[in-house]
Amino acid sequence: MKRECRAWILLAMVVALVTLGACASRPEPLLAKEWYELGNAWFDKADWKRAGQAYSKAIALDPSLAGASFNMARALAESGDYDSSLKILESILAEDPKNLRILSARAYVFYRKGDAEKALAAYGEVLALDPYAPDAVYNSALLRAAAGDKEAAVAELKRLISARSEETGAILLLGRLQDELGLVDEAIASYQQVRALGKADALALERLGILYSKQRRFSDAIECFDAATKSDPKLGEAWFQLGRLRLTVAEDSEGGLSALKKALETGFADRTEAAALMDEPVLPEREQIQALLAGKGLYGPAPAAARGAAGSGPAGTGPASPAPTVPGAASPATRGP
């Protein structure tokens, strides 16, 4: 809340400066910078229309203000006007064809536009200039995987990680792809590497726990799920898997029931997982667990809403891949080339 208030105060100050500057006939370069800062303030508020208008005024007053042009391209892309965004980026590249930030931004806009082929080619241009540009390698691998060439994506990520062993995002993506390719031991090694770097978040710990379970390394799995729930108490899948293993492996009925209840409290709603738990040949407190699951509609006849939604999506639709990373992750004021 305090941060939100500070943001609005900053925005008000910038608006005041621009207004006063216009009234006082300030030199155009100074007034252009104030419009630029106003654009950045609106950018931070995700008001793409007002941000674009402010950047446009800044550029009109000072066409050499390249940062305003780049940020305007970003604002246009965020608003869905990809063609206008690309036009601006191409104009910047005409003057500076080897600008990696602009090349990366253009590739990202192609991705947002839905042109994966051009996006992949554009990231190739980035990698031709910097073979180890982390965002470009990550995004290129992500696009290759989405196109069905996961082996090439894995090779690309391994090349980056061999040179830059602390690229956490690349290692996590590598682990996910290795798991999808059935390379469970290699996937475990990747997630372990992230954990050794101290960068494993709750979701990474949960994923590692699932991989350990696949290898029947149940003690390691329990430890990971426990760590995941401590890191993020709202992680329903981790709570459920922790409860399942405590009940069926660790012979900890009390701890298992407690974890299951917490999973259900978080909104866990995977009927397939619930059915698999009830199918366990040895399940302590079976009647109590059945009642808990049935009470949430996870066991027994499917609720009407769930039955109606079952066939609503296209066949074979899986979880969405994470979007490529956005070039220029710093504050808008420093997003210029």
Q: Does 63 fall in a domain?
A: yes
> Of 50, 72, 97, at which residue does a domain stop?
97
d(CA 172, CA 170): 5
Report the distance separating Cα 273 and Cα 289, nearest Å. Answer: 13
Phi, psi torsion values for 173, nearest 5 degrees: -65, -40
Q: Which domain holds residue 36?
A: 9-97
- pLDDT score recorded for residue 10: 46
The answer to whether residue 3 sits within a structural domain is no
The pLDDT assigned to 300 comes to: 84
Q: Angle of helix 66-79 relative to helix 48-61, nearest 10 degrees?
A: 150
Identify the pLDDT of residue 302.
62
* Domains identified in the chain, total number: 2
Q: CA 66 to CA 74: how far, in whole Å?
A: 13
pLDDT of residue 303: 56
Token readout for 201 is 């978040």
Q: What is the DSSP letter of 323?
A: P
DSSP code of 250? S
**What DSSP designation does 300 have?**
S
Domain limit, last residue, from 97, 112, 133: 97
Task: Establish if 229 belongs to a structural domain.
Answer: yes
In-domain check, residue 15: yes
Alpha helices in the chain (DSSP H): 2-23, 28-44, 48-61, 66-79, 82-95, 100-113, 116-129, 134-146, 150-163, 168-180, 184-196, 202-214, 218-231, 236-248, 253-265, 271-278, 286-295, 304-309
The pLDDT assigned to 9 comes to 44
If you compute the radius of gyration of the chain from its CA atoms, what whole number of angstroms results?
A: 25
Q: In terms of Cα–Cα distance, which of 288, 311, 290 is closest to 300?
A: 290
Residue 272 maps to a domain: yes
Domain-located, residue 60: yes
Written as tens digits, the pLDDT of the chain (337 aa) is: 544 444 444 444 444 444 444 444 545 567 888 889 998 999 999 999 999 899 989 989 888 887 889 999 999 999 999 999 999 999 999 999 999 999 999 999 999 999 999 999 999 999 999 999 999 999 999 999 999 999 999 999 999 999 999 999 999 999 999 999 999 999 999 999 999 999 999 999 999 999 999 999 999 999 999 999 999 999 999 999 999 999 999 999 999 999 999 999 999 999 999 999 999 999 999 999 999 999 999 998 765 544 343 333 333 222 223 344 444 433 333 333 3
DSSP, collapsed to helix, strand or coil, labels residue 106 as helix
| Alpha-carbon span 287 to 284, nearest angstrom | 9
Q: Which CATH number do you get for residue 242?
A: 1.25.40
Q: Angle CA(224)–CA(225)–CA(227) in degrees, nearest 5?
A: 65
In a domain, 213, yes or no: no
Helix (H, G, I), strand (E, B) or coil at 268: coil
Boundary residue ending a domain (68, 97, 126) = 97
CATH number, domain with residue 58: 1.25.40.10
Does 173 fall in a domain? no
Q: What pTM did the predictor assign?
A: 0.78
